Amino acid sequence: MFDVLVKGGRLVDPKNGLDKVLDIALEDGKVVEIGEDLSSSRAKAVVDATGKIVMPGIIDMHTHMRTVMGHPHAQRMVALAGVCTTLDMAGPLDNILETIPQAGAGINMAILESANPHTTLSCARPDAAERQALIEKSLENGAIGVKLMGGHFPMDLDVQGAFIEDCSDRKAWIGWHVGNSVNGSNILGFRDAVEAAQGRFLHIAHINSYCRAQVRDELSEALEAIELLKANPNIFAESYLSPLNGTRLTIENDEPLSKVTATCLKKVGCTPNYAGMEEAIRTGRAGALRDNGVIGELLYGEEGVAYWKSQGTSTVGSFPVNPATSRFLLAQAKRDNGACVVDSFSTDGGCYPRNVIVENGLLLVQFGAITMAEFVVKASLNGARALALPNKGHLAVGADADISILDFERKKAYATIVNGQVIMKDGQLLGKGTTIICDERGVAALTKRGIRTIVKGALDPEAIKDRYIP
Ligand SMILES: [Zn+2]
């Protein structure tokens, strides 16, 4: 007896060469049969996907799932967005693991612990012993690596380069929101980061955010980013599709706490201080994130200002600072062999309400900028390949039963199925708990905490360089 039978959808699975109407049967968390007209009588539950797209579960390669960023609903928000698996890009690991019983929505998640001079490090120039201890402790506690927070909390370039080397030696994933003590979160910081990697594996976070016309115009910045990625196949890159970014709105001593926030205020024509932030929120140029009890929502105008003040300015929020030109170019750029330049679609969402891989990604398909197969490769397969999860990113018999069902007409996720369980259907949340994707070094600690795990393969930079050609 199948646990779930997904009937009548257009199954799009580029890795297995499928793009046709087929039924797909799930049992014990795996795909067990694919075919035309599988009988409903063989299944405990049937999901009618007639007229819908059925694809391998979406993997959002950049989100924030902590429960302290304004609200605890990030997992719900990604499940509603059709996402089965995500890479949390900053932890805190402990916060996410502790809150799984209440905040879990049934998704899979890998986590990077932040390497942050204000929280997990003692200073901005940690020595080798401190760097390596952070990486090893993070892996043993269930993270798959660390994230450099250079854009928000810069360290010297040589220190961040040393982190990349330390991670490479330990086969740990390393992400970097670029920025260092000389160049910030922009195309110059990106260039520095590529150089600092010296050919080693590096996940550069949200490429689009370095193409916001901070140094030159966004078109030439995006073209430079594309050329840099083509020339440096050791770099794994994701790029998001929303105009909104996400950052802290906190003001201390009449200055934004985050350098990114100061840049955003200038970009939207406001001064980088208390009065400027108030003006930005009041006039709809910044939104403050509030918990509405179910999800996090952005507040603007007087309501937004009042909320921001009520929190003593210590809130997070979003600015519409991602130009369409760079988002569009990065979304569709190809390497000379036809592989995607930017490996994955991401959102930098989760707790931020901009989980729009489906909404904006399907618009790109409709526009003709990418094919449906390319959408699936960027929204699922490439993330699975990079994370060394061979049973995800495709739907052959034996693959993990992670499926996203999309309504192409409405550009919305219709259902999210993870490990053979329907965790979201037609806007209704049905999932609980969280499965943590970890390195084999993290299994013991997670198991001790009673957390279900999926053990990823070892980081394989050579396999990542060998890109999938849609
Ligand atoms: Zn982020």
Between 448 and 151, name the one with better pLDDT.
Answer: 448
Neighbour count for residue 231 (Cβ, 10 Å): 9
In this structure, are 77 and 173 located in the same domain?
A: yes
The predicted structure's pLDDT at residue 107: 98
Helices (H) and strands (E) in the chain, counts: 16, 26
The model's confidence at residue 147, banded by pLDDT at 50, 70 and 90, is very high
Q: How far is the CA of 203 from the centre of ligand 1 (A)?
A: 12
Task: State in Å: Cα 89 to ligand 1 middle.
Answer: 6
Query: In terms of domains, do 126 and 210 share one?
Result: yes
Distance in Å, CA 185 to ligand 1 centroid? 12
Looking at the structure, do residues 76 and 212 belong to the same domain, yes or no? Answer: yes
The pLDDT tens digits of the residues spanning 16-64 come to 999 999 999 999 999 999 999 999 999 999 999 999 999 999 999 999 9
Domains held by the chain: number: 3
CATH (domain of 9): 2.30.40.10
Residue where a domain terminates, one of 280, 296, 318: 318
Please give the distance, rounded to the nearest whole angstrom, from the Cα atom of residue 88 to the centre of ligand 1: 8
Q: Copy the structure tokens of residue 357.
A: 């891989």
Q: Are residues 64 and 162 in the same domain?
A: yes
For residue 129, the CA-to-ligand 1 centroid distance in Å is 27
The CA 93 to ligand 1 mean position distance, Å, reads 15
Domain boundary among 303, 318, 333: 318
Based on the domain organization, do 312 and 340 belong to the same domain?
no
How confident is the model over 2-25, as pLDDT tens digits?
999 999 999 999 999 999 999 999
Contact 154, 260 (CB under 8 A): no
Looking at the structure, do residues 225 and 327 belong to the same domain, yes or no? Answer: yes
Cα separation, 354 vs 101, whole angstroms: 24
DSSP 379-436: IIIHHHHHTT-TTSSS-STTSB--EEEEETTTTEEEEEEETTEEEEETTEE---EEEE
Residues 341 and 384 placed together within one structural domain of the fold: yes
CA of 102 to the centre of ligand 1 (A): 23
The Å distance, Cα 26 to ligand 1 centre, comes to: 33
Q: Are residues 175 and 189 in the same domain?
A: yes
Could you tell me the residue range of the domain that residue 425 belongs to? 2-55+394-436
Helices (H), 333-393: 357-367, 372-376, 382-386
pLDDT band of 288, cuts 50, 70, 90: very high
Q: Quick one: 87 and 116 in the same domain?
A: yes
**CA 149 to ligand 1 center in whole angstroms:** 9
Ligand 1 geometric centre to CA of 62 (Å): 6
Same domain, 385 and 263: no
Query: CA-based angle 223:228:233, to the nearest 5?
Result: 130
pLDDT band with cut points at 50, 70 and 90 for residue 68: confident
How sure is the predictor about 67, in pLDDT bands with cuts at 50, 70 and 90?
Answer: confident
Residue that terminates a domain, selected from 318, 336, 367? 318
CATH number reported for the structural domain that contains residue 374 in this entry: 3.20.20.140
* 383 CA → ligand 1 middle, Å: 16
CA of 352 to the centre of ligand 1 (A): 10
Bond preceding residue 14 cis, omega within 30 of 0: no
> Do 347 and 415 reside in the same domain of the chain?
no
Cα(116) to centroid(ligand 1), Å: 13
Cβ-in-10-Å burial (0-12, 13-18, 19+) of 275 comes to: exposed
Query: Ligand 1 centroid to 64 CA: how many Å?
Result: 6
If asked whether residues 286 and 328 sit together in one domain, one would say no
Under a CB-based contact definition with an 8 Å cutoff, are residues 354 and 348 in contact?
Answer: yes
Distances (CA, A) of 323 to 112, 214, 319: 27, 11, 11
